[in-house]
Chain A
């Protein structure tokens, strides 16, 4: 056996390329193809991990491509997409790519729904209605695959609170209508959906979808034992390998039924193949034991010896995975081993990244990344796609950059592991170091369910989220109550949440991950940042309040201590006082005894007096009886007065009650008045808001009308003035819509209208072809001709151009000029055919000779202080010299590669753009060259333009994109689409902030660097006579001069308002009602 191709893809689905190894579903593939032939669609549903995508991509697609199904044409267009966060965009991208259409056109068409998709196909070159053999060979059948259709429901952008987004609705309308039309017109168009069956009930929210599902559903059956045997054995046989029968039986028996059956099996088979010397040995039980899928006791004695010898060499961390060997443990052991060895892999392979992390930090990065890449949704662990930037943001450590994150995670993306998407295709830096906006995704949810460590992390993450929600509600309560100190955290709660803060380290990206609202990502990030600031402030203020509270409590304790001290002192004083009182009492006692004796004597005397008193008492009794009678009379009088007082009190209480009731009523009335006032205020606000909405709607209507008119103005009419009037009316509508900016469409419409009426035509410069040109402050144009002549041109008031040869006593260009570059509008560096190079100052009239090289000048640049000059030759030599001594180079460096462009920056730095796309920085003082951008295998770079006021360098590439480089720290900034094809020229006008780039497809993009979010204006090819652009330049008014290869010069204003004014100045007649009806439709004219 010599096979080396692994026929088992592992955890990822089979690709179309690997279809030759996809076995076990032959019967089901035929059934789906029959369904397509009969019904034009197949709605494939099934459980997670049962291979729906593989069955389509590796089963159905290769089967029909091979011609085993009946269809109109021999070949197929396969237009596949996943809904992701924007289903219509995904569909449009795929359709545009497959049918070779412009994307903007495609999305615009598809947004109209219904027959739009069918129309695109039937109008394309791939559909031929003839029934001839030639047509059958020329045409292509169309298969549309909506894979992972459940994303329509799982992504909050597509489906929120039970309501689908407009995009989702339009996409489904398009697909269903495509099926309907294909059936009715017998078109060779077919649609396949794949969706997890647990989302089937949610399909009812879409009109007609349930009927279509019932019409053509295919529920993926569970594989039977015989089919699982095919899955295991046949791919190995196809690749020239073999699986032992006993291994097959063990695998079949150890496979759990239910979720993840196939992914777990495919993953194990992939590892088994590699363990069996890439299929050179028959796959057997020993190999299964080596991937922790079966115990060593299951092996023969001889195999056990082999296993033990191998096991002894394993690192300690790997051995723990052999404690519970099982088929479901294989994935756990594999992922766990990668986790442990990621640091070594990173240190060994990521030479392009800074290696300033510890092994513990490497593990922390993996933990945070996988926590971010998964989430718990309805108590189920599911994947959660996110970008490299988001992961780095959540990790939030200064020493951990995107490069570190990519470097550590690469082991999971490697070809031999493929647990994380996108997979690493090779070992190139581009493949390893992903751009920050690259979306990472767990290859299959089986990994989440089978990697024990990841399950544990998810539980921790869920706890973190619960604690955050609890904390956040407290923060919100605090905010709702005017940030009152009473709602700050108490010390116990503070300690709890502070501990959580330390553990979880929440940050805006982490909050963003858990934001399930339907807002755009950018808005979510802003909201998360605000929320984080509030959380931090809440923690800080709680902490300060607790410290203040503790300080107050300490003061109180001190007060109590002082009080106690005073009390003790008081007690001591009291004791002293009591003792002295006792001594005094003793003295008093003695005195009392003496007094008692004296009292006895007095008592006797008193008895005598008592007898006398008895007598007096009798007299008193008589007096008392008289008094009692008097008292009885007085009592009766008192009772009468009490009754009168009680009546008065009742009357008083009744009066009080009446007063309370009146007060209550008054208060109620007052509250009612307040409520009414408040309601009136709300109503007023609502009215204002409604008015604003109405105004906005009106403005939107005018802007929409403006766009429609602009589109119409771009059509060709017999009456060309109609273009002008349409464009003019579009401008007026734009103004009425309150839009002070002019959209790219309107700009293009204006240019088209003016061009159609020959108000924009190019001016012929001179018959002789020229290489390059420049414009100085006096609108003086200097051109370098192909014949070596240097000409001056002036635009006369009648529009003609007057040209004259530059005269410098015949000292210039006595030999034909081979190559010339403009350094400033008045300064030209050029090489003659005999390889001599000069600098010519067209004002100062001097032209010093540059040092002689056997080469031509490729590029040149002047230092900001205009004292130094740097020049690059085509073969890679770069020289720096002072302007005062141009014949003596001050510094020289040979870059040994083809140079495209050069830029002098700061005092001593020169940026050198190489043809292979790399950008280098040369410090000529110490002759150090550093890399700013790496070389690109897939594209070249031709020109660059400095944007000095914003510290950017714009590099234009052959793929149509402009790469911005930050000149402060030499890091790549954003990229922007400059045009549809290869970019050839780029220049920047600092006065207007406009960056102009031209491309091979004869279009010019004008990018406003003051606002990168603004959509670039595009000058279409018709505005420059449909000719190739040779060179461009700005004058000091921001007017773009464009030279085309037919020697014509076009003056184009970068400020679209100028064109709008030009149209107004023409005093054009308004559109007649008939024209409105004919061109725009009746509904517009009525309005």
Chain B
């Protein structure tokens, strides 16, 4: 069984709070320390000081109390909590996450403020209303420990050509015809290989204009394989369209039905398949 050791180091900017939440903040601080997380304390910091400290952290934590910190305060009476909230919100993006913690059940006049905050949530903003600081810190640690896949070097290509090694002979013929006119990278898949196909395919597809899954005899394999690749690479949201191409001598049009219109496919004579692939590529261009 896999156990996550959470050994990725990151720093948290612990934002200032309004008075009624100072005790809660102190408790949270102890929990963060026990969780082995580096804390950048934002108590009392305003404007530039706050900006530089928040900028140096990987994420910020803001505890919501009974005061509206989302809208600017009266000039001259800006609270540190409000200033820090607005700075963090402006920094929010792929490299900086903002955590909003609302440990108390909201009621009365505070409800519209909390609703405003929740309505305003965008990507990379995390809202948590679980009362336990331990649950909140567990979530924070999980989110901050998500590993970005290590990207290996992949060659850019027009066509990423995948097939089962059983069809090596016919696939090589197609590959040879295509590579004369386009830049093609091929991947024969073998049941005995140790290669992490998921990762390799995901990354190579990101560097290719189209992906082609070709089958001649290995029709039983091609359909589930294409579905798994489609799923792992973002489906309809993917930037690299997939084409599944089969030889009509060994495949019936029944195979097309399983795609339910979510993937492009062609079942044609062996000789016409390179042309189909070229037409598909040209359409994407």
Contact = CB atoms under 8 A, between A and B. Distances in A.
Given A238-B236, A245-B122, A19 B231 contact: yes
A20 B118 contact: no
Nearest to A16: B224
A531 B220 CA distance: 57
A22 B231 CA distance: 8
A991 interface: no
Interface in A119-156: 133, 136-137
A219 B142 contact: no
A19 B220 contact: no
Contacts of A23: 231
Contacts of A239: 235-236, 262
B121 A249 contact: yes
Interface string B203-222: 00000000000000110110
A218 B191 contact: no
A529 interface: no
B221 A298 contact: no
B2 interface: yes
Nearest to B237: A237
A313 interface: no
Contacts of B197: 67-68
A3 B236 CA distance: 9
Given A67-B191, A245-B121, A136 B260 contact: no
A56 B214 CA distance: 27
Contacts of A65: 221, 224-225
A249 B125 CA distance: 9
Contacts of A237: 234-237
Interface string A12-46: 00000101111100010001000000000000000
Contact of B198 (A68, A73, A219): A68
Nearest to B130: A253
B48 interface: no
A720 B127 CA distance: 84
B87 interface: no
Contact of A66 (B2, B225, B262): B225
A137 B250 CA distance: 14
Interface in B175-198: 189, 191-194, 197-198
A240 interface: yes
B150 interface: no
Contacts of A137: 166, 217-218
B235 A70 contact: no
Interface in A189-242: 218-219, 224-226, 237-240
A280 to B, nearest CB: 13
Contacts of A3: 236
Given A240-B236, A249-B125, A253-B130, A70 B119 contact: no
A827 B218 CA distance: 60
Given A19-B227, A74-B221, A218-B1, A240 B235 contact: yes
B33 interface: no
A300 interface: yes
Contact of B143 (A68, A70, A225): A225
B128 interface: yes
A20 B227 contact: yes
Nearest to A20: B231
Contacts, number: 121
Interface in B81-129: 111-112, 115, 118-123, 125-129
Contacts of A71: 191
Given A3-B236, A226-B146, A74 B2 contact: no
A5 interface: yes
B161 interface: no
B137 to A, nearest CB: 12
B139 interface: yes
Given A65-B224, A249-B127, A219 B191 contact: no
Contacts of B142: 224-226
A73 B1 CA distance: 27
Contacts of B121: 245-246, 249
A393 B203 CA distance: 60
B125 A285 contact: no
Given A20-B262, A245-B123, A74 B191 contact: yes
A21 B237 CA distance: 13
Contacts of A20: 227-228, 230-231, 235, 262
Contacts of B262: 5, 20, 239
A732 to B, nearest CB: 53
B118 A246 contact: yes
A1079 interface: no
Given A20-B230, A31-B1, A67-B164, A253 B236 contact: no
Given A66-B224, A225-B142, A238 B119 contact: no
A246 B120 contact: yes
A219 B198 CA distance: 24
Contact of B227 (A62, A73, A246): A62
Given A5-B262, A137-B218, A246 B119 contact: yes
Given A19-B231, A73-B191, A239-B236, A298 B115 contact: yes
B236 A67 contact: no
Contacts of B123: 245
Given A224-B142, A225-B143, A297-B115, A67 B225 contact: yes
A806 interface: no
A250 interface: yes
Interface in A43-77: 62-63, 65-68, 70-75
Nearest to B193: A70
Contacts of B221: 65-67, 74-75
Contact of B118 (A62, A68, A298): A298
Contacts of B118: 246, 249-250, 298
A389 to B, nearest CB: 36
Interface string B226-256: 0111110011110000000000000000000
A211 B228 CA distance: 34
Contact of B231 (A73, A133, A238, A297): A238
A133 B220 CA distance: 15
A27 B228 CA distance: 14
Contacts of B189: 67
A74 B164 contact: yes
A74 B218 contact: yes
Contacts of A63: 228
A39 B243 CA distance: 36
A1049 to B, nearest CB: 44
B236 A297 contact: no
A75 to B, nearest CB: 5
Nearest to B117: A246
Nearest to B127: A249
Nearest to A299: B119
B224 A225 contact: no
A182 B225 CA distance: 26
A69 to B, nearest CB: 8
A199 B224 CA distance: 34
A831 to B, nearest CB: 41
Contacts of A136: 166, 191
A3 B262 CA distance: 9
A245 B143 contact: no
Interface string A282-299: 000100000000000111
21 contacts: A20-B231, A20-B262, A31-B1, A62-B224, A67-B164, A67-B224, A68-B228, A70-B191, A70-B193, A74-B166, A75-B221, A137-B218, A224-B139, A237-B235, A238-B230, A238-B237, A245-B121, A245-B123, A246-B122, A250-B118, A298-B119
Interface of A: 3, 5, 17, 19-23, 27, 31, 62-63, 65-68, 70-75, 133, 136-137, 218-219, 224-226, 237-240, 245-246, 249-250, 253, 285, 297-300
Given A19-B231, A137-B166, A240-B237, 20 more contacts: A19-B228, A65-B221, A65-B225, A66-B221, A66-B228, A66-B229, A67-B221, A67-B225, A68-B228, A71-B191, A136-B166, A137-B218, A225-B139, A226-B143, A238-B235, A240-B235, A245-B122, A245-B123, A253-B130, A297-B112
